Amino acid sequence: MDNPFFKNTGPYNINFLLRTISLKNENLSNDKITDIKDLNSSHKNEITFLHSKKYIDLAKKTEASYCLTSENFKSFLPEKCKPIITDKILLHTAQITKIFYPNSVTDDYDNTVKDINQTEFKDKVKFGKNVLIGENVKIGVNCLIGHNSIIEKNVNIGDDCSIGSNVIIRNSLIKNNVHILDSCVIGKKGFGFFPNNESNFRYPQIGIVIIEDNVEIGSGSTIDRGSLSNTIIGKNTFLDNQIHIAHNVKIGKNCIIAGQAGFAGSSTLGNNVMIGGKAGISGHLKIGNNVQIGGGSGVIKNIPDNSKVMGYPAKDLKNFIRENKW
């Protein structure tokens, strides 16, 4: 889908991009680069990046024309994808992303919002006091919005949805029968920085949040938008209160997650996953289908399908119980 939230200012000549970020590479053509994307979604005339062995399988199938990577990983790229060698892969990826999407670093307030009484939704939506709506917002039938909530520009909300009080939603696609309880913040920028010459360079965030049908988001929860891909909450998933979902996280269908659980960026959950309260999931992990994770657990490695784990670091539940008998 096209991203209505961030404007692509390209195309740019590949040599211009590399000169701008002070990266020297020899023997490159004058190709025009139209966008920067992750390995999975990139196409011809686009640039991508490969920084970890976890993504080698995706690298082998990428359709990108160029890839920021290291000497150790360049052999995994298809012949049509030209490697650009750097020892600062993520920093240079962030810098190029900022060139294409200069408005993706800051999260300025939406100055297009109006009181809902001044919009087309005043007779279509049930709403509380002080509700603000941005331009080009779409809201389906039979929806409700609580007091002091803000729906920012270009957000799309489906049918039969309820938005609680003191909620902020931006950069998001929300499908049907979704219930977002009080004081949630959906679609703000993620937390990603790179040390650079004694300063911190913030990673641009150009993805969105997609919340599928029949989802409930508990009070005080925060869901960050993606960086180069999207943050996705699958169908029939229920999140308890005060849960944090970081950028690029993908949660499958029919999941149940208890309060104060936290997910670091780019981790993936399968379907039918159950997670206890205050569990923490490290970044770039894959949690399989039908997994159960006990409350307070710390997950630092991939978990295969049908596993039950608990503890820190999380381990097989039977082993945890055996080792912690009173």
* Residue 108 CB burial class (10 angstroms; 0-12, 13-18, ≥19): exposed
DSSP letter at 270 equals -
Give dist(CA 204, CA 106) in Å, integer. Answer: 8
Long-range Cβ pairs for the range 127-136 (8 Å, 24+): 128/165, 134/110, 136/4
Contact yes or no for 214/236 (Cβ under 8 A): yes
User: Which amino acid is located at 184 in the chain?
Assistant: C
Active site residues: 247
Give dist(CA 151, CA 113) in Å, integer. Answer: 8
Contact yes or no for 77/69 (Cβ under 8 A): yes
DSSP per position, 161-212: -EE-TT-EE-SEEE-SS-EE-TT-EES-----EEEETTEEEEPP----EEE-
Q: Which tokens belong to 108?
A: 């300025």
Within 8 A by CB and 6+ apart from 238, the residues are 215, 216, 218, 255, 256, 257
Give dist(CA 273, CA 291) in Å, integer. Answer: 5
Give dist(CA 264, CA 233) in Å, integer. Answer: 14
Q: Which tokens belong to 15?
A: 């040599």
Contact yes or no for 228/266 (Cβ under 8 A): no
